[in-house]
């Protein structure tokens, strides 16, 4: 891995954090994790899914993000930074995946909102461990933003799938949703600002959910595989959250332009 020269304002530990963030955010993606762990080609699972499955997945993905939004706009804990409980959240989401694996795609509309909400709690936990105030509307919407990250697949253009491109595409929706939350004492989930953000994230989140559904469609995987897939699903977004909130922590100190320049100068193995 080639490191950029240390800039005057960026300390060696902070540079190391940024290297870690880029390594996490630019990883091969969820499909590669599944293939490496289960040894089952996702293409086989796609062929086994029933007709009309994409509509089910898209609807479930959007509904799960709406449920997660409801959790995001309520109090998610204190501001005090502490170590994130990543293993505990993996256990919870693994249990929900085990139940979902027993019933296949039919369970997705019920199981996905549960697992997505658990993941949001873990994402918020990671944000707090990186020093962010999870009572802040912007931090809460940034937690939701994590679900749009790391959806690399064969349908993604390399540039459009990059971390900074995804953030740029969502920037206006995240800002508008955060402003809405900051100005309201009573929150309506159907508010246009919130719906725009959920819709924008759902398109990318649905890519990863489709890969998850395809893996669970392989009959021999069963309930045990469903739990494994959900743990990998959780680990994927925990990594996205860790990288994202490291970057945001450094941006808060040094500004977006400097951190992006250093980030893009870091060479990581492909």
Distance between CA atoms of residues 229 and 264, nearest Å = 31
Distance between CA atoms of residues 250 and 16, nearest Å = 12
Q: Give the residue, 210 or 244, on which the prediction is more confident.
A: 244
- Average pLDDT over the chain reads 80
Q: Name the token pair of 240.
A: 């996205």
Q: Three-class SS of residue 270?
A: coil
The mean per-residue pLDDT over the stretch 31-57 comes to 75
Q: How many residues does the chain have?
A: 270
- Which has the minimum average pLDDT: 58-72, 101-115, 253-267? 101-115
Q: Tell me the backbone φ, ψ of residue 2, rounded to 5 degrees.
A: -95, 125
Tell me the pTM: 0.84
Burial of 238 (0-12, 13-18, 19+ CB in 10 A): buried
**What is the helix, strand, coil percentage profile of the chain, to 5?**
70, 0, 25
Amino acid 55: pLDDT: 86
Share of residues in the chain with pLDDT > 90 (%): 37
What 29-35 contacts at long range (C-beta under 8 Å, 24+ apart), as own/partner pairs, is 29/150, 29/151, 29/152, 29/153, 29/236, 30/150, 30/151, 30/152, 30/208, 30/211, 30/212, 30/232, 30/233, 30/236, 31/152, 31/153, 31/211, 33/232, 33/235, 33/236, 34/211, 34/215, 34/229, 34/232
Q: Three-class SS of residue 39?
A: coil
Q: Kindly calculate the radius of gyration of the chain based on its CA atoms and give it in whole angstroms.
A: 18
Residue tagged 């909130």 (tokens): 245
Q: Give the residue, 137 or 216, on which the prediction is more confident.
A: 137
- Bridge-partner residues for 167, per DSSP? none
Q: Tell me the backbone φ, ψ of residue 220, rounded to 5 degrees.
A: -75, -10
Banded pLDDT at 159 (limits 50, 70, 90): very low
Could you tell me which residues come within 8 angstroms of residue 165 by beta carbon, excluding any fewer than 6 positions away?
Answer: 159
Q: Which of 127, 165, 168, 148 is nearest to 252 (CA)?
A: 127
Q: Name the token pair of 151.
A: 């959806």
Amino acid 86: pLDDT: 55
Q: Name the token pair of 44.
A: 């086989």
What pLDDT, in 10s, does the model give residues 20-39? 999 999 876 777 777 776 66
- Which has the minimum average pLDDT: 45-54, 81-90, 242-251? 81-90
Banded pLDDT at 201 (limits 50, 70, 90): very high
Q: Name the token pair of 220.
A: 């021999």
Q: Which of 123, 103, 90 is nearest to 233 (CA)?
A: 90
């Amino acid at each position: 891995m080639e490191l950029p020269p240390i800039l005057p304002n960026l300390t060696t530990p902070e540079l190391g954090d940024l290297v870690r963030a880029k390594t996490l955010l630019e990883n091969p993606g969820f499909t590669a994790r599944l293939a490496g762990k289960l040894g089952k080609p996702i293409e086989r699972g796609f062929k086994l899914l029933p007709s009309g499955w994409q509509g089910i997945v898209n609807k479930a993905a959007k509904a799960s993000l709406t449920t997660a939004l409801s959790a995001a706009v309520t109090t998610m804990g204190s501001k005090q930074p502490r170590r994130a409980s990543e293993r505990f959240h993996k256990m919870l989401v693994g249990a929900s995946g085990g139940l979902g694996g027993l019933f296949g795609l039919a369970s997705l509309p019920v199981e996905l909102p549960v697992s997505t909400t658990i993941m949001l709690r873990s994402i918020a936990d990671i944000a707090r461990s990186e020093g962010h105030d999870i009572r802040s509307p912007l931090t809460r919407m940034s937690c939701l933003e994590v679900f749009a990250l790391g959806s690399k697949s064969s349908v993604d253009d390399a540039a459009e799938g990059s971390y900074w491109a995804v953030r740029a595409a969502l920037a206006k929706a995240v800002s508008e949703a955060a402003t809405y939350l900051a100005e309201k004492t009573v929150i309506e989930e159907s508010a246009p600002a919130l719906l725009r953000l959920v819709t924008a994230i759902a398109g990318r989140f649905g890519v990863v959910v489709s890969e998850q559904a395809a893996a669970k469609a392989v009959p021999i995987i069963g309930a045990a595989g469903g739990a494994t897939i959900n743990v990998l699903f959780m680990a994927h977004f925990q990594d996205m959250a860790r990288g994202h909130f490291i970057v945001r922590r450094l941006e808060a100190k040094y500004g977006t332009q400097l951190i992006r320049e250093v980030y893009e100068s870091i060479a990581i193995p492909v």
